[in-house]
Structure formats: structure tokens, C-alpha cells
Amino acid sequence: MITLQLSQKSLRMSLALSVTLLVFLSFAAQGETVYILPDRALPQAEYASERLKQELKTSGYSIVSSPSEYDHLISLSVNDVTLGVEAFSVIPQGKILTIYGGDGRGVIYGALAVAERLRNGESLSDIEPFAESPSLSLRAIKHNFPWDSYRPSKALDQHYDTVRDLKYWEAFLDMMADNRFNALTLWNLHPWVYMIKPRNFPEASPFSEEELVQWRQLHEGIFRMAKQRGIDTYLVPWNIFVSKEFVAAHDVGHVNTYPYYNTKADGSELIKRYVRESVAQVLEEYPDLSGLGLSHSEGMGGWMPEQRDAWLKETYLAAIQSVDRPVKLIHKVPSSAGKSMDGSTSVETETLVRSTLESIDYVDGPIWLSGKYNWSHGHSTSNFVRVHGGELHDTYFKPKPTNYKFVWIVRNEDFFALRWGVPSFIRDHISKNGRASAIGGYIVGSETYIPALDYFTAADVKPTWRYAFERQWLFYKLWGRLLYNPETPDSLFAQAFTGRYGAAGRNLLRAFELASATPLRLASFFDATWDHTLYSEGMLALGDKTLDYISVDRLISRPTLDPDLVSIADYVNAERNNTSLPEQGVTPHQLAETLESDCKEALGLVSEIDPDGDLALTYEIADVRAWAHLGLHLAEKIRGGVDLELYRQGAPESHKLSAVTHLEKALAHWDDLIEVTRPLYRDMRLTHTIGSSKSLNPDGYFHWSHLRPDVVKDIEVAKRARIE
């Protein structure tokens, strides 16, 4: 208690100190003039200097346009002699501060790094020389469109207006540039008719001329703003899809149109021509679009991999060859090695893909060959287990590829509401999976979630953020900055918290590191495959057909994803049969122990923070708590599960009693979770509620409070347990 009071006091003191310091610093800057010397030949320089100007003005500097009388000159330019692509260095020399980038992107990163320092309270005169260079070349965001979306769901539809608004994109792209993401990949079933009226197929367009103009402005705006920010843009459609209007006019592709998404192939020549011409026309009419993604799915059911490969060659690849401009290419690892679209892999299919890739010498390389890291649940373990469909063989890596690089798609289908940030997980991930020379980078994002409309926040006070992704700022900052430079220290992220919340924010990074490890631990322990098979923040998983609370019984029987973890069933089996467990395997008890200790520490770290009316800080604290309660719930459920299974396998009655006790504690933590989240979170639409078929509940809602009866059921299950 005494310690606590002391720390509270020192907290206030340091807060006062930093406020004084900030006042002093901005006073020092007050009235000082800055001349920004851009590189007028560099397309990205204007953006870099505009962002820098905004930050300088906020810090009390005034911007002058005369190149002779100034207190500070900031020079922005490319220096590709001493710097590689995307690298930057900041060199202060008296009143001249030079920001060099190895290219336009590097210049932006350098300028934004200086802006970040100003935001964190440094003055121009304080800045010491510093430099950074990228570790991975592709640092991409996967962002789905809510029109012609992969699945039909109100959870996706609800973003329509927001994603149609260029203001949203401006903010999103600013965030990407701040975090050094360099590629935006835009995914939906069939983007073409939203962008062009196909010259030879005007009947395919669903829009009036006026409507199409608006769509054009949107797409052009996104691509243009991305380019200004040094961000590449890719369209990643699925195949084979057409527009409803095309179907109506030509009587083909009846199941190849939204909302069908996992469907049969239609190999009509007319469709091929329509797709080939549409792709070429889009590339021609949108010169700022960087490239395309190739999908051997999901409307290619009933075909063999060779047919899919041939179709893509005749359509996309032919179109790319026909246009007179550089085109970049993402090639998705096919999700099926057979006729169905349900997911499988084979060496033969990999060999086919490799041979196609190696025959492509006409794109602006390297080609990014993308594979899903641990299928749809990359936020699990940093140990690689599988891609979509199963095992990844070494076909793509041996011999070493020359014209393509492999990139990991790390999906997040696991937490949309709660803020997340575990820097050690990302660092570990990159260290294990991002270091090989054949690896080109990462694509981070979701299929079942669009980070646009904030459909979470229940507070009646108007939040300071506008969009969903702004709530998850830490997620993007950690992924972006660590992909660029995995050596980025925690202190930088900690400063981001104190920059936002003052001294009150200083424990938050550590608290998130501890508490938001919970969904990673669940996803590592509870094996999952495709999108709906797990929703970690809701403790939900796909049952037979529906998305259900992960009951104690399912937890017991489910194999783990991470081979380093031991499932409850295996653990109990080994205990009962006295067989040995895998060496260094983490037992369910050890996992529960870690969860409990981390979550308790996290709760301690936030227990004394007074948000003092700051809504954002209130949410940050609440999310730490929510994760912590969820983690404590999971710990108790694991313990309960072990005791329950031991009892069922013949252990003494005391195990049953212990199981009941643990599950009752689990319920108590769930109730804590509801208490924290109910006032702050609305009932939230969730794509996962579709379950195993699109015919099921596409318009479902989620909130932890609705699951309480299922949590209670676990106690009943334990109480009713019998020795088998």
C-alpha cells in the first residue's frame, strides 16, 4: 500500500514534470522559423513536408518560405548513395536538419520520424543524428471492401458508407505511412465493374454514368493518396466471378456472382474475354494502381489446379502482358490441390505454381507469393504449422527462388473489439519466419472484419477517434514498425502511450503485452483452420455448424495448434498411462499458470490508472482488463478441464470437485469480463456467426454477456461428470 502511494506520488510528479517540459519546449520553439526545403522532383516530398509542417506548427514553429532568413532549415531529399530503398537518416548540422531517404518512401519515413520526435516533446535543436533501414520489403495491409465482399454479412455491409468516403482512406493511409506499411491490398470478389465500364461489355456495368464517376473518384482517390504516401496498391479479387448484369445479359456464370463465394468454376470463353479485357482496362485507366493479386479460388470448384492455372494465364497474365505499364504481382498460394475449394495442398500443385511464377518475366518484380501463416489464425503461435489447406512443402524455397519472394499473410479473425498489442510476439514471429532470404515480407489483415466503421463503442460521449482502426492503433503501430525494423525498442511504443495519455499511459504497453497475449495463447492451444473456426476474443469456435462458446469439453478434446503445447486430452492420457510427454512441451497447467500470472500482473498495472475523463484511456484500460479477465477465465477453464478429464479417466473424486471449483472461478472471471465490457461495448455484428454455411445467421451479433448461460453450463457439465 505504501509502495502504491509512493508510486502514485511519483507518477503525479513525473506528470507535472513532463507537462512543464512540454510547455518549456513549445515555448522554446515559439516564434522560431523553419524553412522546409523539399525535393521538388520527388513525388512523395510534398506529403512528407506537409505532414512535417503540421507537426511543426503544432509544436509552435512558424513556417517561412524564404530560403535565406530562417532559424532552422529542414532539407528533405533522396540520397540513394548512402541509403538503400526505404531507409532514412536524419543529420542535424547547426541550424540545418537534413532528412535523407534512400527513396521517396525513405524520405517520408524520415520526415514522419522527425514529426514523431516533435510529438514526443523534442525540439528541432534537440534532435541527435539517427537512421533506420527496413528489414522486410513488403509490409502490407489486407483490407477488404464491403461491396462484392467475400462473404455476405451485415458485419461487412455496415462499413459501406465509411469505405466509400475518401476521408476514411486519407486517415487510413496516413496511419499506414506513420507505421511504415508500404502496400495496401484491397480484396473483394469482383472489383472491375466498380471501376470501369468494360469497353466491349458495357452491359456488365450495374451503374449509371454518374454513379460510375463517383466510383472512379473513389478508386482514383485511394490510389493517388496511397502513391503520395509511398504506398503501393493492389487489387486482390477472387475467381471466377462476374457481375449479375453480365450473367443476365449472357446467361453464363449463374453461380459466379456475389453472394456466391465458394462456388463452381465457369470456364466460358466469354467470361475469359470479359475478365481479361476488364483487367487490362483497369490497369490502363488507373495508372496509379500498382498491381494485382492472383487467386486460384474460390469460384473454381470442380477444376483441377492445372485448369485454374491455365485460366489465370489466359485472363490476368495475358492482360498484364498487354498493357504498356509496369505491373506488380501478388500470387496467392492456391488454397486447393484438388477439385473442391475446401483447402488442401500438394507438392504437384506447388511445382505447377512455381513453374508458372518462374515463367513470368514481364512484371515489376519480385512477385510476392503469399501464403497464409497458420491458415486464418496467424495471431496464435510464432511456430509455423500450416498454410491454407495444410502442410507447406519446400517446393517454393528449394532451389532458392530468383524472381519471387514468399510473403506471409498473418490474418486476424480473432479480435476486432479489444485493442491488442504484443510486441514480443511480433518480434519473435519475424525472427523465426522473416529472416530467410526467400522471405519478402508480411501481409496483415482480416477477411471477416473491416476496420472502418466504429460499430463497437457504446459510450455516450463522442469519442476522439472516428474510425475503427484508430482504436486499434497499437496493433498497426506494432506490426508496421516492427516489420520495418524488428529492433525497434519497446520504449518507442511506450512513448506513444505517454504521448497520448501523459504519464498515465506509461504502464499500458507492458499491460497490453501481458493481457493481450490471451488470444494468442487460446489460438495456440485450441487448433483452428479457416476463418470461422475460431474467434478468440469471444471464446467462440465453430461447432458442427454454428459458432459456439468453447465449452470445457471442447477445450479438453481439441488438439493444440502449437506443437510446443500439450492438449488436455494428451496430458491426461499421459498422466493416466504414465507415458512421457513431448520434451519441453508446455502442459495445460503451465499454460494456465502463465496466463494467470500475466493477467494478474496486467490488472495490477492498470489498477491505479485514473483515466480522468479521457475516453480513449478509459477504453485502453478496459480492454486490458477485458483481456485479463478472459485470460483468467481461460486459465481456470484449462485447470477445470484437466481435473474433469482426470476424473473421467478414473482419478479420485477430488478432481471432480476441483473441476467444479475451477469452472466456478472461470464463471466469476467471465462475470468480471461482462462487467468491464457491457458499459463500453455494444452488441457487435460478427461475420463468424454465419458458421459453416452462408445460409446460417449472417446477421448475428456478439457480446460476451450473451454467452454467460454457456459458461454456466460448463459447471453443470462438471457436476454431472462420471468416470468413463
Partner 1 sequence: MKNGLITVVVLLLLTALPAFSESVIVKAPSTARYAESVVKSALEETGYTVLTSDGLSAFAITLDESKSLEKEAFSITVADKAIALSGGGRRGLIYAAFEFRDQLRATPKLDDLLDAAKTPALGFRAIKHNLPWESYRSSSALDQHFESVRSLDYWRAFLDMMAENRFNALTLWNLHPFPYMIRPNNFPEASAFTESELEDWRHFYTSLFRMAKERGIETYLVNWNVLVSKAFADAHELEGTNYYPYYKGRKDQVGEAQTSELVKKYTRESVTQVLEEYPDLTGFGFSFGEQMGGMTPQERQSWIDDTIIAGMRAVDRPVKMIFRAPFSAGLGQGGSTDKATETLTREAIERLGDTFDGPIWMEIKFNWSHGHSTTDLIKVHGGELKDTYFEPVPENYRVAWMVRNEDFFALRWGSASFIREHVQKNGVQPYVGGYFLGSENYIPAKDYFTAREGEVEWSYAFQRQWLFYRLWGQLLYDPETPNSQFEHDFVYRYGDAAKSLLRAYEYASDIQLKFATSIDFSWDATLYSEGMMVIGRQGMEPMSVRRLIAQPTLRSDWLSVGDYVQRELAGDVIHESLMTPPILARQMRSDARSALAIVKRIPADSVSLEYEIGDIKIWAYLGLYYAEKLEGAMALERYELAGDASDKDAAVAHLTRSLDYWDDLIEISEPLYKPMPLTHHNPPNNVRNDDNLFHWSKLRPAIARDLEVAIAAEYEPVSSTKRLDP
Among 11, 38, 87, 315, binds partner 1 (CB under 8 A): 38
Q: How far is the CB of 96 from partner 1 (least distance, A)?
A: 5
- Under the binding rule (CB under 8 A), the answer on residue 241 touching partner 1 is no
- Under the binding rule (CB under 8 A), the answer on residue 80 touching partner 1 is yes
Q: How far is the CB of 37 from partner 1 (least distance, A)?
A: 6
Give 72's contacts (C-beta < 8 A, 6+ positions apart): 32, 33, 34, 35, 61, 95, 96, 97, 124, 125
Residue 382: helix, strand or coil by DSSP? coil
- Under the binding rule (CB under 8 A), the answer on residue 110 touching partner 1 is no
* Residue span binding partner 1 (CB under 8 A) among the ranges 32-40, 140-148, 447-455, 471-479: 32-40
- Under the binding rule (CB under 8 A), the answer on residue 232 touching partner 1 is no
Whether residue 83 contacts residue 130, with contact meaning beta carbons closer than 8 Å, is answered with no
DSSP summary character for residue 328? E
What distance, in Å, lies between the first and last C-alpha atoms of the chain?
A: 50
- Under the binding rule (CB under 8 A), the answer on residue 77 touching partner 1 is yes
Among 10, 30, 54, 82, binds partner 1 (CB under 8 A): 82
* Residue span binding partner 1 (CB under 8 A) among the ranges 91-99, 210-218, 385-393, 691-699: 91-99
Report which secondary-structure segment, H or E, holds 378.
none
Q: How far is the CB of 177 from partner 1 (least distance, A)?
A: 22
Q: Which amino acid is at 232?
A: D
- Under the binding rule (CB under 8 A), the answer on residue 1 touching partner 1 is no
Q: How far is the CB of 32 from partner 1 (least distance, A)?
A: 15
Phi first, then psi: what are they for 483, rounded to 5°?
Answer: -65, -35
Among 88, 100, 396, 469, binds partner 1 (CB under 8 A): 100
Q: How far is the CB of 116 from partner 1 (least distance, A)?
A: 21
* 1, burial (CB in 10 Å: exposed 0-12, middle 13-18, buried 19+): exposed
- Under the binding rule (CB under 8 A), the answer on residue 37 touching partner 1 is yes
- Under the binding rule (CB under 8 A), the answer on residue 469 touching partner 1 is no
Among 73, 108, 173, 204, binds partner 1 (CB under 8 A): 73
Of 40 and 720, nearer to partner 1 (C-beta) is 40
> How far is Cα 365 from Cα 557, in angstroms, rounded to an integer?
46
- Under the binding rule (CB under 8 A), the answer on residue 41 touching partner 1 is yes
Residue 409: helix, strand or coil by DSSP? strand
- Under the binding rule (CB under 8 A), the answer on residue 2 touching partner 1 is no
Of 38 and 700, nearer to partner 1 (C-beta) is 38
Q: How far is the CB of 78 from partner 1 (least distance, A)?
A: 8
The number of beta carbons lying within 10 Å of the beta carbon of residue 119 is 16
> How far is Cα 662 from Cα 665, in angstroms, rounded to an integer?
5
Q: How far is the CB of 447 from partner 1 (least distance, A)?
A: 42
- Under the binding rule (CB under 8 A), the answer on residue 114 touching partner 1 is no
Among 44, 49, 59, 98, binds partner 1 (CB under 8 A): 98
Phi first, then psi: what are they for 331, rounded to 5°?
Answer: -120, 115
- Under the binding rule (CB under 8 A), the answer on residue 40 touching partner 1 is yes
Distant-in-sequence contacts of 200-208, Cβ < 8 A, 24+ apart: 200/273, 200/274, 200/277, 201/246, 201/274, 201/277, 201/278, 203/245, 203/246, 203/249, 204/242, 204/243, 204/245, 204/246, 204/249, 204/274, 204/278, 205/243, 205/245, 206/243, 206/244, 206/245
Of 2 and 81, nearer to partner 1 (C-beta) is 81
Instruction: Give the x-and-dash track for 181-220 against partner 1 (CB under 8 A).
Output: ----------------------------------------
- Under the binding rule (CB under 8 A), the answer on residue 93 touching partner 1 is yes
Among 26, 75, 158, 307, binds partner 1 (CB under 8 A): 75
- Is the alpha carbon torsion for 197, 202, 206, 212 positive or negative? positive
Q: How far is the CB of 95 from partner 1 (least distance, A)?
A: 8
* Residue span binding partner 1 (CB under 8 A) among the ranges 77-85, 181-189, 460-468, 485-493: 77-85
- Under the binding rule (CB under 8 A), the answer on residue 413 touching partner 1 is no
Peptide bond preceding 366 in cis form (omega within 30 of 0): yes
Q: How far is the CB of 63 from partner 1 (least distance, A)?
A: 16
Whether residue 696 contacts residue 545, with contact meaning beta carbons closer than 8 Å, is answered with yes
How many residues sit close enough to partner 1 to count as binding (CB under 8 A)?
20
Q: Give the cell for residue 318.
A: 495475358
Among 39, 178, 277, 596, binds partner 1 (CB under 8 A): 39
- Is the alpha carbon torsion for 151, 155, 158, 164 positive or negative? negative
Cα 258–chain centre separation: 25
- Under the binding rule (CB under 8 A), the answer on residue 91 touching partner 1 is yes
- Under the binding rule (CB under 8 A), the answer on residue 68 touching partner 1 is yes
* Residue span binding partner 1 (CB under 8 A) among the ranges 93-101, 148-156, 381-389, 608-616: 93-101
Phi first, then psi: what are they for 361, rounded to 5°?
Answer: -120, 20
Residue among 712, 422, 420, 710 at smallest CA distance from 543: 710
Whether residue 687 contacts residue 448, with contact meaning beta carbons closer than 8 Å, is answered with yes
Q: How far is the CB of 81 from partner 1 (least distance, A)?
A: 4
> How far is Cα 177 from Cα 285, in angstroms, rounded to an integer?
25
Instruction: Give the x-and-dash track for 629-658 against partner 1 (CB under 8 A).
Output: ------------------------------
Whether residue 538 contacts residue 707, with contact meaning beta carbons closer than 8 Å, is answered with yes
Any idea how long the chain is? Answer: 724
* Residue span binding partner 1 (CB under 8 A) among the ranges 80-88, 184-192, 300-308, 354-362: 80-88
Q: Name the site residues for partner 1 (rule: CB under 8 A).
A: 37-41, 67-68, 73, 75, 77, 79-82, 91, 93-94, 96, 98, 100
